């Protein structure tokens, strides 16, 4: 089980995403997951081993490391990537539910003119309309919330995005204020800034996608009201014809059963 499995899960959602959504998935997997796996994990690999404090007191190093790094950067990034990718599953579940209902109606003989066979239902791309629009928009909203929350947690935990080369620590059992040295602080700062920039880009893509979906909805609704306004006579004629047809069919029925009309 690794990032490849997550890619399989999320890749399935790709078919039903907008173009901005597809760009977002690409940015996530290339600039964040891949960088995390091939580079960041190597940089942070020996972080506790090479964290050195200027003291021989046993336990001081452990306690100071735990105080300055309550959660490691790479673990926080891994959790961020998992949480940010998960809302896409809402869309996948909705599409799966829609296909299940379509297959059920097809077996009952209802949607025979829409689909050729059951395989056609599985292959057809589902449009982002109606209830799926709401699910998709909610998933983007949650993505933005998770990204922003993790970036804030990062900033709060590490007092910014820069790693210093020395930290002062005076927590028990350290006998006094000792100097503790982090391994590869500059390289870690570079990767931190890279990952934060990628997060910001992903957040901007999500905001752009949200605006695009809202604009599309407003445009569709205004087009519908405009069509209704342009052809009101046509709509009125249709409704009057329907009323007359109903009256004719009712009087016809009454004539057949023998009741006076």
Chain residues that interact with other proteins, rule: CB under 8 A:
1-3, 5-6, 9, 48-49, 57-59, 61-63, 65-66, 69-72, 74-75, 78-79, 82, 86, 89, 93, 96-97, 100, 107, 173
Residue 87 CB, nearest approach to other proteins (Å): 12
Residue 188 CB, nearest approach to other proteins (Å): 16
Nearer to other proteins, 107 or 231 (CB): 107
Residue 247 CB, nearest approach to other proteins (Å): 37
Residue 168 CB, nearest approach to other proteins (Å): 19
Nearer to other proteins, 118 or 200 (CB): 118
Of 69, 81, 65, 72, the closest CA to residue 44 belongs to: 72
> From CA 21, how far away is CA 137, in angstroms rounded?
11
> From CA 149, how far away is CA 80, in angstroms rounded?
9
Q: Is the backbone peptide bond immediately before 24 cis, with ω within 30 degrees of 0?
A: no
Residue 134 CB, nearest approach to other proteins (Å): 18
Nearer to other proteins, 52 or 215 (CB): 52
DSSP element (H, E) containing 166: strand 166-169
51: how many CB neighbours lie within 10 A of its CB?
A: 18
HSE (CB half, 13 Å, CA atoms) of 178?
24
Nearer to other proteins, 104 or 116 (CB): 104
Q: Which residues contact 61 (CB under 8 A, 6 or more apart)?
A: 51, 52, 53, 55, 180
Residue 229 CB, nearest approach to other proteins (Å): 42
Nearer to other proteins, 82 or 207 (CB): 82
| Structure tokens belonging to residue 185 | 């602080």
Nearer to other proteins, 107 or 224 (CB): 107
CA 161 to chain CA centroid, nearest Å = 24
């Amino acid at each position: 089980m690794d990032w490849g499995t997550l890619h399989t899960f999320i890749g399935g959602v790709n078919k039903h995403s907008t173009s901005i959504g597809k760009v977002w998935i690409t940015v996530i997997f290339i600039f964040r997951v891949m960088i995390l796996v091939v580079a960041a994990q190597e940089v942070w690999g020996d972080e506790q081993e090479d964290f050195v404090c200027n003291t021989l007191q046993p336990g001081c190093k452990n306690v100071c490391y735990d105080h300055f790094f309550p959660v490691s950067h790479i673990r926080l990034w891994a959790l961020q990537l998992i949480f940010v990718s998960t809302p896409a599953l809402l869309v996948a579940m909705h599409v799966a539910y829609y296909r299940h209902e379509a297959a059920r109606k097809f077996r009952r003989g209802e949607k025979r003119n829409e689909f050729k066979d059951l395989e056609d239902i599985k292959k057809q791309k589902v449009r982002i309309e109606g209830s799926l629009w709401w699910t998709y928009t909610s998933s983007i909203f949650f993505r933005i919330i998770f990204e922003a929350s993790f970036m804030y947690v990062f900033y709060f935990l590490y007092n910014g995005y820069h790693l210093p080369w020395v930290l002062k620590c005076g927590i028990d059992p350290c006998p006094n204020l000792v100097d503790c040295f982090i391994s590869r602080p500059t390289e870690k700062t570079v990767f931190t800034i890279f990952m934060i920039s990628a997060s910001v880009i992903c957040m901007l893509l999500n905001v752009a996608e949200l605006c695009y979906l809202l604009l599309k909805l407003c445009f569709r609704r205004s087009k519908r009201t405009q069509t209704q306004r342009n052809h009101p006579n046509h709509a009125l004629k249709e409704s009057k014809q329907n009323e007359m047809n109903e009256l004719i069919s009712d009087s016809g029925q009454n004539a057949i059963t023998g009741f006076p009309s």
